[in-house]
Chain A
């Protein structure tokens, strides 16, 4: 099974709200990723967690705060977002830290009003 699940599927929030995106995998993968994807563009890497520790932060604004509570779960906490943050947020996981196949979840469609 190569399934990565994400909740919620859709999220609408105001600029003053606080919300969280959740991602889960049960494949025993030790690397997990958050991506942001705008329409007709490829996914852009935001964060990488390796063995539950943040290993890459692609200079993402602090209004996005990742968290990895355990090896199966990945959260993305959102606060004071801007309308330009509206996008499809994708979670992915891979078994190997280096060069392994990344499996993506279905994404969360986020709209910031």
Chain B
């Protein structure tokens, strides 16, 4: 069964303290890996799409990378407004997204 696992479940960082979130998946014909940010009570906000190993994308303080079995979301010098739940989702070759359980990120001023 295709699975997506995110770690850590929760992460607390001081403002300016860089770190990485991990998303690993079963290697089974990946058709795309997606990162979303979700604030409480709101819909997921699209961040990045990655399709092939070695691909990297950046947006402001965020950088997403992809290998053959995992993806990292690197957060550089985070600010309190970066606090949110970050969701990773994988398309294994059908119309569905398989979501990880998310990483709840808290940035402390």
Contacts and interface: CB of A to CB of B under 8 A. Distances in A.
A98 B107 CA distance: 36
Identify the interface centre among B49, B93, B99: most chain A CB within 10 Å of its CB.
B99
B43 A105 contact: yes
A97 B43 contact: no
Interface in A1-41: 2, 4, 6, 31, 41
Contacts of A48: 95-96
Contact of B100 (A42, A99, A106): A42
A54 to B, nearest CB: 11
Given A98-B94, A101-B34, A42 B99 contact: yes
Interface of chain B, main secondary structure? loop
Nearest to A31: B95
Interface string B31-60: 110101000011111100100000000000
A90 to B, nearest CB: 5
Interface in B64-80: none
Contacts of A88: 41, 43
Interface string A100-112: 1111111101000
Q: How large is the interface on B (under 10, 10 to 19, 20 to 34, 35 or more residues)?
A: 20 to 34
B97 interface: yes
A43 interface: yes
B76 to A, nearest CB: 24
Nearest to A106: B43
Interface of A: 2, 4, 6, 31, 41-43, 45, 48, 50, 55-56, 88, 90, 97-107, 109
Interface of B: 31-32, 34, 36, 41-46, 49, 87, 89, 91, 93-97, 99-102
